[in-house]
Amino acid sequence: MRGETVWLHAPGHGLLRPVRLLHPRHRVYLVPRPGDIVLLGATEIESEDRSPMSLRSAVELMAAAHSVMPALAESRILRLDRNLRPALPDNRPHIDVTPQRVAVNGLFRHGWLLAPALVEDALAAWARLRADAALPGPEIER
C-alpha cells in the first residue's frame, strides 16, 4: 500500500493534536509537529510503486487539507514524501506470538495510532503464553 505525505511550514497553525477528515473520497490527517510544521497525509494507493508523488495526488491531498483548515492556504510546502506501508491482504494488523518472539505487522496507515495498544496486546499475549507454558522469562538486573 502506497502512502503519500506533504510536509508544510505553517506558522501559527494552532493545531494541538492530530485531526482526521473521514470523507468518502478523501481521508486526510493533519499532524502538528515541532517548529510550526504540519504533516499532511495520507493517500491510499494499492501499489508498490515508489516513484515520486503525482500531481493529482498532491492536488487532491492539499485541497482536502485546505477544506479542513483554510488557514493552510498560505503555508509553504517543504517536502512531498511517499513510501510503502506494511499492509496485509485484509488490511488488518496481525500479532504472532511464540514463546521465543513477538511479531506485529500490517499496521497499514494507522500504525502511528495503533502501535501503543498493539504493543500492549502483544506483550500481554506473550506473558500469558509463557505463563501457560511455565517458561522462564528474561532475567532483569536491578
pTM of the predicted model as reported, rounded to 2 decimal places: 0.63
CATH 3.30.9.10: which residues of the chain?
2-84
**Cβ neighbours of residue 107 closer than 8 Å, sequence gap 6 or more:** 85, 86, 93, 114, 115, 118
CATH fold, domain 2-84, is D-Amino Acid Oxidase; Chain A, domain 2 (3.30.9)
Is the torsion defined by CA of 71, 64, 4, 49 positive or negative?
negative
Query: What value does the mean pLDDT take over residues 7-25?
Result: 87
Q: What is the largest CA-CA distance in the chain?
A: 61
Query: Between the CA atoms of 50, 53, 56 and 62, what dihedral angle is there, to the nearest 10 degrees?
Result: 130
Report whether pLDDT(72) > 50: yes
Report whether pLDDT(140) > 60: no
98 half-sphere exposure, CB direction, 13 A CA radius: 3
State the average pLDDT for the chain: 81
Can you give the pLDDT at residue 32?
A: 94
Report whether pLDDT(8) > 90: yes
Residue 42 CA from chain centroid, whole number: 9
Can you give the pLDDT at residue 98?
A: 84
pLDDT range class, residue 5, cuts 50, 70, 90: confident
